[in-house]
């Protein structure tokens, strides 16, 4: 398989991951990773629909956070 994913792993623990469940960097609240970087592993299946779904969800989260003036 050549499905490039990972490197900015998603997770709750900043010690073992780069972004949280909203694809938001633990270390910098204004940085969001909306590609395949947040994948924690490569499942057998094609990743692109999941990349798009996570990006869409993150976009809505960004709008929400902007309205609340959190970012
Ligand atoms: C031959 C092939 C077939 C595939 N077929 C499928 C398929 O049928 N279905 C499916 O779901 N997935 C498929 N994949 C996997 C899918 O394409 C990747 O998993 C997905 O594109 C990863 O998305 P990404 O945005 O994380 O990275 P990428 O799509 O690789 O995007 C990274 C971008 O960053 C840019 N970039 C790199 N370095 C820099 C830099 N220093 N400065 C600025 N920009 C930079 C690159 O030019 C690129 O545009 C295929 C992959 C390959 C190689």
Domain boundaries defined on the chain: 1-71
**Cα-to-centroid distance, 48 and ligand 1 (Å):** 9
DSSP 25: B
What pLDDT shows up at residue 44?
82
The average pLDDT across 2-24 equals 96
d(CA 38, CA 20): 9
What CA–CA distance (Å, rounded) separates 12 from 32? 15
What does the pLDDT read at residue 45? 87
Radius of gyration for the alpha carbons in the chain, expressed in angstroms and rounded: 12
Does the pLDDT at position 49 exceed 80? yes
Q: How far apart are CA 19 and CA 61, in angstroms?
A: 14
Q: How large is the average pLDDT for residues 12-23?
A: 98
Token pair in block for residue 38: 């947040």
- Cβ 6 under 6 angstroms from ligand 1: no
Q: Which of 42, 47, 52 to mutate to test the pocket of ligand 1 (most atoms within 8 A of CB)?
A: 47
pLDDT at site 67: 97
> Region 22-45: what's the mean pLDDT?
94
Q: Is the pLDDT of residue 43 over 90?
A: no
User: Taking all residues of the chain, what is their mean pLDDT, rounded to a whole number?
Assistant: 95
In angstroms, what is the span from residue 68 Cα to ligand 1's centroid? 33
């Amino acid at each position: 398989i050549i499905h490039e994913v990972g490197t900015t792993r998603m997770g709750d623990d900043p010690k073992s991951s780069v972004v949280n469940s909203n694809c938001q960097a633990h270390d910098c609240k204004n940085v969001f990773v909306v590609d395949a970087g947040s994948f924690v592993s490569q499942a057998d299946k094609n990743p692109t629909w999941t990349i798009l779904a996570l990006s869409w969800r993150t976009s809505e989260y960004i709008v929400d956070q902007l309205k609340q003036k959190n970012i």
